[in-house]
Structure 1
């Protein structure tokens, strides 16, 4: 039934006011929702995973390059992974204490330390690296191609690495620093195979030995580590390089072979440096502006082509490691950052 006119007139302002309040309330709710969405977007941007850069060194022997790499880490804030060959903790006089699977005692494809003083200097650098937050990983001992080694043979190689590391100070005439025993027995969790040469025996031994990850395989481009198995697998990526942008393993030795056939050509050192740096930059930018998969770059404690690749590394690390949302980290830190909190190891 329609309202009487006076009541209708009195009701109109109330109805209009109610409608206005409803409209304002709806607008306020929408504004709050928009604000929340914008805030969520900003938070999403802030919570976007850092671009991880993993820089590693195989061999880790030359004491001069130990000092150079530690200085680079200090300048840039980068944390490196050093894949150590254990024969560099054995002096030549003691070389027969090591026997690689299938080889006679005292054999090594990369030699031994020249003397005990050289070993002690290296041990000091290893300890400094560990205390500075860098990671020490295993590269085995004698740098043999173990693709055909059995699980048992690999376990023997791993056991020798562990024993050499644990006893290195005393075997070379010095007392270890406090904490060395714990370091040598509990912190070596990663491995890279010499020549990146893997096989069923290796992967079986990695798990049996309690290692956390392997960094020996190769992928077509940057990929996240495969964590579907007990031992995570990292793969060095192929990256585009050179005028023709042909793919190449992101490692200094592979660049050395491409640029000069594996023969020293210091006259073109600057050219090779620029090519390497351009490849590193392009691979980084592609991930940093894209899917942000970890970018891995591998190096050796050898200056090839007049130091071209070390200089490229130093320039690259100086450019990217201090950028916002970029983290130059060790392999173990990368696993921790990418793993669900429930799967992270206890500290």
Structure 2
């Protein structure tokens, strides 16, 4: 092998200059890489639960959040703050008093346990959003209808503790008045009346629509719009809304089939992982995943969620955040003010 001395051009002086140039070029390259990394946004993951009623699943979800560092959004149906004895206090547009598509709390003790979970979740940095009250399809409701539904939600939340025979914790009144900033429509069923009412009531965001894939939120109107994405799933990679109920219907036609729970869990986890990796290695648009406070197909979807959260939310440049936090990070005027 030839030595440096065999090459007249490789004198010590020239070698020093070459090495210095190479080092400077390397430093510049590293700096450029760091700069590009610094400019790259974190990958946001937004995980939400509709209904927020089953107290056992409250325990499970809060433990999941504590272990992983994730923060969740809970879209609450307000009839779960009312015992059956108080059901006549609620009247949905076009319905008789005391009717709810999702029922009511069994009794005051159950409602109080739920209220404790709501308060613990909020204090830990999770978000409570509105899912209306009785889970009716409001696509044809007017603005006035929706404002009436919002009024009943607000009253149920503000008076929940006293209506169930207990004293509200300090800070609850302020939370009930100012803490609810987002909404998701039952059945993801929207209409002009809903959007007009959301803007009139000053909601920061709505999370009721669906998009062809992950998209950035639309901030063009006073109430921002987040859309649950369609993601590829299953052997044929057919698109499906990234929500547990939709997976349940696809996998087993909406019929409980616990014997295939492991298969459905793996399919769900594969779909979540793939959808995440596309964004994480690409445009880094927020990935939204929706769930209900109901375990389906033997817990397949909650099991997949737990595995996904624990392997994903601690990764570098990933933040599993609430919708309100996503608004703060992504809305142009909010970003410039922070």
TM over 0.5: yes
Distance in 2 between residues matched to 1:338 and 1:245, nearest whole Å: 30
How do residues 286-325 of structure 1 correspond to structure 2 at under 5 angstroms? 286-325=278-317
Distance in 2 between residues matched to 1:239 and 1:152, nearest whole Å: 35
- Which structure is larger by alpha-carbon Rg, 1 or 2? 1
So what's the TM-score if we normalise by structure 2? Answer: 0.91
Q: CA deviation at 1:344?
A: 5.4
How far does the alpha carbon of each residue in 1:89-111 deviate from its partner, in whole angstroms, 9 at most, with x for none?
00000000000011110000000
- Gap regions ≥5 residues in structure 2: 1-16
So what's the TM-score if we normalise by structure 1? Answer: 0.89
SS of the counterpart of 2:95? coil
Q: CA deviation at 1:41?
A: 3.1
Q: CA deviation at 1:125?
A: 0.1
Distance in 1 between residues matched to 2:280 and 2:146, nearest whole Å: 37
Tell me the equivalent position of 1:187. Answer: 179
Distance in 2 between residues matched to 1:202 and 1:31, nearest whole Å: 61
Tell me the equivalent position of 1:343. Answer: 334
Q: Do the aligned partners of 2:327 and 2:334 also contact (CA within 8 Å) in 1?
A: no
Tell me the equivalent position of 1:267. Answer: 259
Matched, 1:153 2:145: yes
Q: CA deviation at 1:46?
A: 2.8
Tell me the equivalent position of 1:143. Answer: 135
SS of the counterpart of 1:240? strand
SS of the counterpart of 1:296? strand
Matched, 1:199 2:191: yes
1:248 pairs, out of 232, 240, 243, with: 240
How far does the alpha carbon of each residue in 1:238-267 deviate from its partner, in whole angstroms, 9 at most, with x for none?
000000000000000000000000010001
- Gap regions ≥5 residues in structure 1: 1-23
Q: What is the RMSD computed on CA atoms of the aligned residues?
A: 1.9
Distance in 2 between residues matched to 1:73 and 1:165, nearest whole Å: 23
Equivalent pairs counted in the alignment come to 322
SS of the counterpart of 1:94? helix
Distance in 2 between residues matched to 1:211 and 1:36, nearest whole Å: 46
Matched, 1:228 2:199: no
